[in-house]
Amino acid sequence: MKRWTHLCIWVVCLGFFLPAFAQQYPDKPIRLISPIPPGGAPDLVARALANTLTRQLGLSVFVENKVGSNGNIAADVVSHAPPDGYTLLIGMDSLFVINPYLYTKSLNANKEFKPVSTLASNQFVLAVNPKVPANNLKEFVEYVKKVNPAPAYASGGNGSQHHLTMEMLKARAGIDLLHIPYKGGVEATTATMGGDSVAMFSGTSNAGLIRSGKLKAIAVSGVHRSKDLPDVPTIAETYPGFDNTIWIGLFASKETPDAIVQKLRIEVSKALKDPILIESLYKAGGIEPFSTTAEEFSALIKKDQNKYSTIIRSLHLQLD
């Protein structure tokens, strides 16, 4: 009986404590855990957000890089931190919509985290070696169909979004290309510039190489043209409905109180409208702020899970 009494008292006290705790939040530095090394898109977004939130909140928001296992190491750090809103995950979409279907052993991020807010989006560029005799998507498809044996394309690795986006295009256009996976986007870009592959999907961060003529842009993968490459058509202009846009989001561990998550959403929504943040993301490679409601974010995750799980199953992909 005493145990039940103590338990009831603890639950009642907790009910009073959590709202008071949420009202005080934040009152100390916040860590944003980035899953990749400095310089990549998620890290650039994390640092732009940290700088803006530091100005807004009047306290330190800083970035820590926990690299490895395609985002799983960073996710593990946040999932084991106290659920108080002071250790947050900068989450790549692949961690939530690809890894659970691709890896035989993978942390189930969808069960470990609460979505706080989308942060940014970016699209891929179908880039080819300058010697490829094609200047638009129709010509590229015609070129590939004539080449025998099938030409090679480069990607940043098996199961990467570069890889899966090209497989989506292959299926839609009815073409055959040999996949050559590399250890990251830099190696894939080097191979394409050097002629070891004819094409690749790259981030808009390669816009400088395209403008210098070291790569030739054929199309972009999003629903609208890139602000950084406004003269390059979308794939959807040739194949209506085609869309493969990557996103980066902010996540809290699953036990974080809803009141804290809501406070974070409000602050992040404000930060994504900040002109300094917008400009810094654009200069980083055409990255665009991407703001949604909590409901829209959850729906986006489910939509992309359905899309990528279907592609991965069709390719019979599975990695350890």
Asked if residue 3 is part of any domain, the answer here is no
Asked if residue 182 is part of any domain, the answer here is yes
Residues 221 and 261 in one domain: no
CATH for 71: 3.40.190.150
State which of 208, 237, 266 marks the end of a domain.
237
Residues 172 and 303 in one domain: no
Asked if residue 256 is part of any domain, the answer here is yes
Residues 114 and 173 in one domain: no
The boundaries of the domain holding residue 83 are: 15-122+245-315
Say which DSSP state 166 is in. H
Residues 224 and 132 in one domain: yes
CA distance 127 to 220: 9
What confidence score (pLDDT) does residue 10 get?
A: 47
Asked if residue 253 is part of any domain, the answer here is yes
Please report which residue ranges of the chain form alpha helices under DSSP H. Answer: 2-24, 41-57, 72-79, 93-97, 99-102, 109-112, 137-146, 161-173, 185-194, 207-211, 258-271, 275-283, 294-315
What confidence score (pLDDT) does residue 20 get?
A: 54
State which of 237, 262, 294 marks the end of a domain.
237
Residues 142 and 116 in one domain: no
CATH for 198: 3.40.190.10
Asked if residue 5 is part of any domain, the answer here is no
Q: What is the pTM of this model?
A: 0.82
Residues 257 and 270 in one domain: yes
Residues 133 and 231 in one domain: yes
Is 109 in contact with 99 (CB distance < 8 Å)? yes
What is the count of structural domains for the chain? Answer: 2
What confidence score (pLDDT) does residue 312 get?
A: 92
Asked if residue 7 is part of any domain, the answer here is no
Residues 118 and 255 in one domain: yes
CA distance 265 to 63: 18
Entry field: residues in the chain = 320
Amino acid 262 reads: Q
What are the average pLDDT values for consecutive 10-residue runs of the chain, which has 320 residues? Answer: 49 50 85 88 93 97 89 91 97 91 80 94 95 97 96 92 94 96 88 97 85 96 90 97 94 96 96 95 86 92 93 87
